[in-house]
Amino acid sequence: EAGVTQFPSHSVIEKGQTVTLRCDPISGHDNLYWYRRVMGKEIKFLLHFVKESKQDESGMPNNRFLAERTGGTYSTLKVQPAELEDSGVYFCASSQGQGRTEAFFGQGTRLTVV
């Protein structure tokens, strides 16, 4: 069974450009989470989807970040326009159904804004 996969693995963009990150969760997992780790800081929660609905987006930094999960399958996280402080590693995780189920993480996308 395939794990959580993220694309691209690395992205280098200029300040002001747009970048879209993609996450494919484990098949059948209703819950999808986005996290981010910026340099020197801990991994921080961004938002949580249950199927196609945003359950909790309390961790989203600002309105330059837009997350979608069309049809409750894969998810995208778009940053527009990107700023220098958006640099970091973006992780996606998924978990199965409701209840006390652990989340499995993807390998992350390293975003560098120059």
Partner 1 sequence: TQLLEQSPQFLSIQEGENLTVYCNSSSVFSSLQWYRQEPGEGPVLLVTVVTGGEVKKLKRLTFQFGDARKDSSLHITAAQTGDTGLYLCAGARGTDSWGKLQFGAGTQVVVTP
Residue from 13, 17, 38, 43 that binds partner 1 (CB under 8 A)?
43
Q: Name the minimum Å distance from CB 1 to partner 1.
A: 15
Omega cis (within 30) before 81 = yes
Q: Which pair of tokens denotes residue 37?
A: 């780790």
Residue 99 interacts with partner 1 (CB under 8 A)? yes
Residue 53 interacts with partner 1 (CB under 8 A)? no
Tell me the C-alpha distance between 94 and 104, whole Å.
Answer: 5
Residue 75 interacts with partner 1 (CB under 8 A)? no
Distances in Å between the alpha carbon of 14 and those of 20, 21, 33, 78, 113? 13, 15, 26, 15, 5
By CB under 8 A, name the binding residues for partner 1: 4, 9, 31, 33, 35, 41-45, 48, 56, 91, 93-95, 98-108
